């Protein structure tokens, strides 16, 4: 199982209605400095992978997707559909991490 596969495994564990950060995912798979690699893994995801990539946001609680295939507004809509409050502020979509960050068993 390569790094990307590990990332997908962890992302799949994020329950609907919750979010996680790139750095958090990296920490879970014992690679706390590879947050950016986590982003690569999600970018490499095919269209209908079954991996809830929309639940992964950056450490500031903002949506940082920069993929031509999807837009930030699309990720925001998906999260709203799952019950996550997303607020558009300062030209970016924001989520309250204190409220919606998922706590993994091995993290926090």
Partner DNA sequence: AAGGTGACTAACA
Partner DNA sequence: ATGTTAGCCACCT
Interacting residues toward DNA by CB under 7 A: 2-4, 21-24, 31, 33-40, 42-45, 53-54, 56, 58-60, 64-67, 70, 75
Per the listing, tokens 């706590």 go with 103
CA dihedral 47, 52, 55, 58 (to 10 degrees): -60
Query: Which residue lies nearer to DNA by CB, 15 or 49?
Result: 49
Nearest in space to 63 (alpha carbons), one of 90, 34, 41: 90
Query: Which residue lies nearer to DNA by CB, 38 or 95?
Result: 38
Number of other CB atoms surrounding residue 71 within 10 Å = 13
Q: How far is the CB of 108 from DNA (least distance, A)?
A: 12
Q: How far is the CB of 83 from DNA (least distance, A)?
A: 19
């Amino acid at each position: 199982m390569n790094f990307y596969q590990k990332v997908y495994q962890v992302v799949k564990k994020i329950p609907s209605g919750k979010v996680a950060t790139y750095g958090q995912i990296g920490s879970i798979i014992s690679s706390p400095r590879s947050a950016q690699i986590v982003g690569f893994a999600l970018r490499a995801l095919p269209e209908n992978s079954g991996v809830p990539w929309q639940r992964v946001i950056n450490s500031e609680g903002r949506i940082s997707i920069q993929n031509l295939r999807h837009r930030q507004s699309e990720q925001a809509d998906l999260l709203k559909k799952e019950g996550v409050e997303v607020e558009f502020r300062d030209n970016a979509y924001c989520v309250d991490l204190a409220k919606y960050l998922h706590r993994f068993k091995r993290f926090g």
